[in-house]
Amino acid sequence: MISPHTNLPTLADLNEIAFINPEGQITDQFDGKVGIYAIFDQTKTLQCVGYSRDVSLSLRQHLIRKPQECHWLKVQTIERPNRTILQEICDAWIAENGTTPAGNGTDAEQWNQPIDAKVRMTPEEQATYAASDDLGRTKALKQVARRVEAEVLAALEQRGVKMPIRFDPKSKEEGLLDLK
C-alpha cells in the first residue's frame, strides 16, 4: 500500500497476478480496497488501466465486459481514496507502456460501461422491437439481454470462471447488462 508521500509505483515494480485463480475466482485480496490496476491479455499486452474504490468489484465488471482480454493484472492499493494520486499513477503507467491501451482509448466505453445488448440485436429482434409498443419493447429488450447474458456466461465458463455472476434485472429492461 502506498501513502500520499511515497514515490509512485511503476508497472515494472509490481508482480503480475493471474486474473482468474485455479478455483475459477478473482482473488479476494482486493475486496473493498482502494487502488489502481492494470489488466493484461493472454500475451501480457496491457489492455486497460483503471482505479477504483473497490478494486475487486471493478475487476469483476471488466471480466464480464471483456473476458478474452482479462488474463493478468497488476494492482497497487492506497491507504485513502485520492483521485489525484490515482490519476497520476494511471498516467505514469500508460506513459511507461509507451502506447495508450485500448481500454483507455478506442475501447474505453466497452471496458467501462454496462454491456449494451441493443447493439447486438439480430435483424429479427430489431424488427420485433420496432413493431412493438412500450411494453413489447421492454419485453424485447429483456429477451435480447438474456440472450447476450447467456453468451457472456458461456464465454466466462470457457475461460474457467466459476464464481457466481448476477446481472441487475432492472438494467436488462433497458437492454443493458451490469453486475448487481
For 19-77, the pLDDT digits (tens) are 999 999 999 999 999 999 999 999 999 999 999 999 999 999 999 999 999 999 999 99
Q: Using CA atoms, how far apart are residues 3 and 171, in angstroms rounded to an integer?
A: 37
- Residue 94 banded pLDDT, cuts 50, 70, 90: very high
Q: Which three cell numbers stand for residue 65?
A: 465486459
Give the largest CA-CA distance in the chain: 60
Span 77-105, average pLDDT: 94
Q: Are residue 15 and residue 86 in the same domain, yes or no?
A: yes
- For position 18, what pLDDT does the model report? 96
Is there a single domain that holds both residue 63 and residue 151? no
Residues 91 and 168 occupy one common structural domain: no
Q: Do 108 and 143 share a domain, yes or no?
A: no
Number of domains making up the chain: 2
Cβ atoms within 10 Å, residue 59: 21
Residue 2 belongs to a domain: no
Instruction: Judge whether 6 lies within some domain.
Output: no
Residue 33 belongs to some domain of the structure? yes
| Domain final residue, candidates 66, 82, 112 | 112
Distance of CA 40 to the CA centre of its chain: 12
State the cell numbers at 170: 432492472
Neighbours of 45 (CB within 10 A): 14
Q: Looking at this protein, which amino acid is placed at residue 35?
A: G
The answer to whether the beta carbons of residues 75 and 37 sit under 8 Å apart is yes
Give yes or no: residues 107 and 126 share one domain: no
Residues spanned by the domain of 53: 11-112
Dist. CA 84–CA 4, nearest whole Å: 10
Q: Are 67 and 156 in contact (CB under 8 A)?
A: yes
Q: Give SS3 for 14.
A: coil
What is the domain-level CATH number for residue 58?
A: 3.40.1440
Query: Is the model more confident about 81 or about 64?
Result: 64
Let me know the angle formed at the C-alpha of 122 by 128 and 166, rounded to the nearest 5 degrees: 95
Helix (H, G, I), strand (E, B) or coil at 1: coil
Q: How does the average pLDDT of the chain come out, rounded?
A: 93
Identify the domain boundary among 112, 145, 167.
Answer: 112
Residues 92 and 145 reside in one and the same domain: no
